[in-house]
Amino acid sequence: MEKEEPIAARFVNVSKKYNSGSVRSVALDDVSFEIRRGDFTTVMGPSGGGKTTLLNVLGGLDKPDSGEVYVSDKKISELQDKELTQLRREDIGFVFQFFNLMPTMTVRENVELPLLLNGNSKAGSENVVKLLDYVGLLHRGESFPAELSGGEMQRVAMARALVHKPSLILADEPTGNLDSENGEKILSLMRNISQDFKATFVMVTHNPEAARFGNLKLEIRDGKLTQH
């Protein structure tokens, strides 16, 4: 192992409960871990175990009840909503199971969207072209999402997640809605991105094959984390 990379994200004794009617779920139960820059972290575990909650808290979409959450050296567990929005826009790239592309925008516009939200689309437009080329979809820039296959849509979502050079890319079951061949392609694209861009991935998956990709393997059940 070469010299240690800086910390990309950290949970310190993070807990989160949900109350829904009379049902009380412990989604995160005293969870601590540390991710370094360039790590490919996989998160496995049964449905309802707390995987999505972990990603949402890490990405500033949800707040913990207690404990500390850091992204790079920023303590995000104390940020207000407005600051969390800024964190998501600047530091986080999201990839979802159902792609979540904007149907009325072209492929190029979808990839450009994070830059628009950050107010620096001019400076980043070269990066849009570079990333569309990288994911093999430069020729589809003027197409709309509905004209693409699922695998292609997820490649667009990958480019969108990278375009603003986030410090963390969070992927919630990114291959969960793809057939096995396209799932494989997305996984190897993610592995290439992680190497070529020194990107830091946290990927939730149900697929043990996909989980083998990780150099850091987390498992969460009943809100309790174990590290493999």
Ligand X SMILES: Nc1ncnc2c1ncn2[C@@H]1O[C@H](COP(=O)(O)OP(=O)(O)O)[C@@H](O)[C@H]1O
Q: State how beta strands 168-172 and 201-204 pair.
A: parallel
3-state secondary structure of 187: helix
Q: Is 52 in the site for Mg ion (CB under 5 A)?
A: yes
Number of residues counted as binding Mg ion (CB under 5 A): 2
d(CA 15, CA 65): 6
d(CA 72, CA 74): 6
Largest CA distance in the chain: 53
Question: Within a 13 Å sphere around the CA of 206, how many CA atoms are in the beta-carbon half?
Answer: 12
Tell me, residue by residue from 48 to 77, as one string, x for binding to ligand X by CB under 6 A and - for no binding. xxxxxx------------------------
d(CA 2, CA 4): 6
d(CA 42, CA 201): 8
Taking the complex as a whole, how short is the minimal distance between the CB of residue 112 and ligand X, in angstroms? Answer: 30
Q: Is 97 in the site for ligand X (CB under 6 A)?
A: no
Taking the complex as a whole, how short is the minimal distance between the CB of residue 203 and Mg ion, in angstroms? Answer: 12
> Is the CB of 45 or the CB of 166 nearer to Mg ion?
45
Which residues within the stretch 5-44 sit at the binding site for ligand X (CB under 6 A)?
18, 20, 25, 27
Taking the complex as a whole, how short is the minimal distance between the CB of residue 51 and Mg ion, in angstroms? Answer: 5
> Is the CB of 76 or the CB of 148 nearer to ligand X?
76
Number of residues counted as binding ligand X (CB under 6 A): 12
Report the partner that residue 164 touches, choosing among ligand X, Mg ion, none (CB closer than 5 to 8 A by kind): none
Residues that bind Mg ion (CB under 5 A): 51-52
